[in-house]
Amino acid sequence: MVVSLSRRGNVEPFHAMDILAEANRLKAQGVPVVSMAVGQPSDPAPARVRAAAGKALQDGRIGYTDTLGLAALRKAIAEHYADHYGLDVPPSRIAVTTGSSAAFNLAFLAMFDPGDRVAIAAPGYPAYRNIMAALGIEVVEIELGEEAYLHAGHLETAHREKPLKGVLFASPANPTGAVIPAAELSALVKTAQDLGIAVISDEIYHRLAYAAPDTTTLAYGSSVTVINSFSKYYCMTGWRIGWMVLPEELVRPVERIAQSLYISPPELSQIAAIEAFAATEELEAVKGRYAWNRELLMKRLPELGFSLAAPMDGAFYAFCDVTRHTNDSMAFARRMLAEAHVAATPGRDFDTQAGHRTMRFSYAGSHDDMVEAMARIERWLR
């Protein structure tokens, strides 16, 4: 038997998922693990979303849909841009996707060829780097160092060294929670446009900012590709449903590639997601709890010697410098899970250079869990 293994398959593991698997193994043995490892809301999808899915299941037939998604969902997403941002976005520029993860595949495949150079920030969400590497795109990681977010100056410097074809950033960001202020975002997009660099903006943590209102990159031009998802604010991770807002020229290429890669996003999740925009009251209550958790961690983590390496402006992450305790955050995270039964993510996922110095704590869980996790870590460190 011959087994063929491509070089592309040799991407970094997503360590947060490995830690989650280990936490799940311990839980199955009856160990009461508190998980702060994965960026996943602990609440279910809003009641009206689940009711719509229940009704669709009763009605019976769940099938393929148009590749770019159900017309009613594309319309609901377009209306969300009018309601939330005051922007007029036609439903024809919206593509519904199987989570934002599928949207990355589609954007990278439709926008870049093997060998193209695309910039991302480090630390950053690991799937950007891993998917692009698997597709043969050259990933240019811009180390943020002491700075909270990517800005126009970073882009100019990287482009001067060797021209870039694209840039991808998230605001609020994972793992830092940092938000790019509106004026800086505007300058970043303008610089990219002046230099001929295509922009992809990951807006999956929109509606989860604590200090400033959301600004969509779409406000600065219709040539940017925006990626978003129902996973985070809308508490729908397992429903695997997201969307893209595309420049006109990219709609048909994305549709052609999606036809073959996915046929369509899941119909059940699409029917349910239409209801998500009407669940604001329920979802704002969930966000209120994140804000409460955030207050707690902003105080407790530094007290425990985990200094905050970013401002916690948005998302549901505290990104910490752990060098007071260790110079190997991967081993430290494994020991903390095994001995204190608290799971958190080592920085290596987000930054291959400096990640041994950092860890990310997700505060998307219950408040009681956060209190318990801090108490356990305190006892363990003593």
Ligand X SMILES: Cc1ncc(COP(=O)(O)O)c(C=O)c1O
Smallest gap from Cβ 355 to ligand X, in A, equals 16
For residues 204 and 318, which CB has a smaller minimum distance to ligand X in the complex? Answer: 204
* Comparison of 174 and 217: residue with beta carbon closer to ligand X: 174
The structure tokens 């589609």 sit at: 106
201 binds ligand X (CB under 6 A): no
Shortest Å, Cβ 240 to ligand X? 7
Size of the site for ligand X (CB under 6 A): 13
Cα distance between residue 315 and residue 306, in whole Å: 19
CB of 101 to ligand X, least distance (A): 3
Tokens of 341: 């039964």
Within positions 230 to 289, which residues make up the interface with ligand X, using CB under 6 A?
Answer: 231, 237, 242
Residue type, 59: D
Burial-class residue 192 by CB neighbours within 10 Å (0-12, 13-18, 19+): buried
Is 174 a residue that touches ligand X (CB under 6 A)? yes
Which three-class secondary structure state does DSSP give residue 46?
A: coil
Buried b (16+ CB within 10 A) or exposed e, 67-104: bbbbeebbebbbebbeeebeeebebebbbbbbbbbbbb
Alpha carbon 37 to chain centroid distance?
Answer: 14
- Nearest CB to ligand X, comparing residues 169 and 306: 169
The minimum distance between CB 19 and ligand X, in angstroms, equals 14
Minimum distance from residue 381 beta carbon to ligand X (Å):
28
**Which region, left, alpha or beta, applies to residue 315 given φ > 0 means left and ψ of -120 to 50 means alpha?**
left
With both helix axes pointing from N to C terminus, report the angle between 99-111 and 248-261 in degrees, rounded to the nearest 10. Answer: 120
Of residues 202, 214, 275, 351, which one binds ligand X by CB under 6 A? 202
Which CA distances in Å does 183 have to 144, 190, 215, 217?
A: 19, 11, 10, 11
The reply on whether position 355 binds ligand X by CB under 6 A is no
Report the site for ligand X in 84-103 (rule: CB under 6 A): 99-101
Site string for ligand X, 153-172 (x = CB under 6 A): -----------------x--
Nearer to ligand X, 65 or 237 (CB): 237
Q: Considering the complex, state which of residue 235 and residue 342 has its C-beta at the smaller distance from ligand X.
A: 235
Residues that bind ligand X in the complex, under the rule CB under 6 A: 39, 99-101, 125, 170, 174, 202, 204, 229, 231, 237, 242
